[in-house]
């Protein structure tokens, strides 16, 4: 129960985190799993990929295939809508964290 509630909360944080990195530079899934691990989120590909997929469907991210060392990798970058959402989410997150820190 407790874990389910937290998971729901974290889903929002993780999506903001993903948008933040997508804005900095295009990333691929395995890179993001490592990045999230460093921030204390242990995410399997089976959890992350559906999130990336749904964010692409919502037009927050765009996918692009790149060939790296003979392998095709899907890279994700931010869309214009993603940037708009990120700007707003960042303000809201900042406002909240100032209060609860």
User: Which C-beta is closer to Zn ion: that of 36 or that of 85?
Assistant: 36
Minimal distance in Å, beta carbon 40 to Zn ion?
11
Maximum pairwise Cα distance, the chain: 49
CB 58, min distance to Zn ion, A: 21
Closer by beta carbon to Zn ion, 20 or else 63: 20
Nearer to Zn ion, 35 or 83 (CB): 35
The dihedral built from the CA positions of residue 56, 75, 31 and 87, taken in this order, carries a sign that is negative
The closest alpha carbon to 28, from 55, 64, 58, 54, belongs to: 64
Spatial strand order of the sheet with 61-68 comes to 27-28, 71-78, 61-68
Min dist. Cβ of residue 43 to Zn ion (A)? 13
Residues in 21-80 that interact with Zn ion by CB under 5 A: 35
Number of residues that bind Zn ion (CB under 5 A): 1
H or E stretch at 75: strand 71-78
Positions touching Zn ion (CB under 5 A) are: 35
């Amino acid at each position: 129960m407790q874990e389910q509630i937290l998971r729901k909360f974290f889903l929002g944080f993780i999506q903001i985190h993903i948008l933040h990195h997508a804005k900095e530079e295009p990333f691929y899934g395995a890179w993001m799993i490592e990045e999230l691990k460093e921030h204390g989120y242990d995410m399997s590909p089976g959890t992350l990929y559906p999130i990336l997929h749904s964010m692409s469907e919502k037009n927050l991210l765009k996918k692009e295939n790149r060939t790296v060392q003979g392998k095709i990798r899907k890279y994700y970058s931010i869309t214009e809508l993603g940037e708009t959402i990120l700007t707003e989410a960042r303000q809201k997150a900042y406002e909240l964290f100032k209060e609860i820190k």
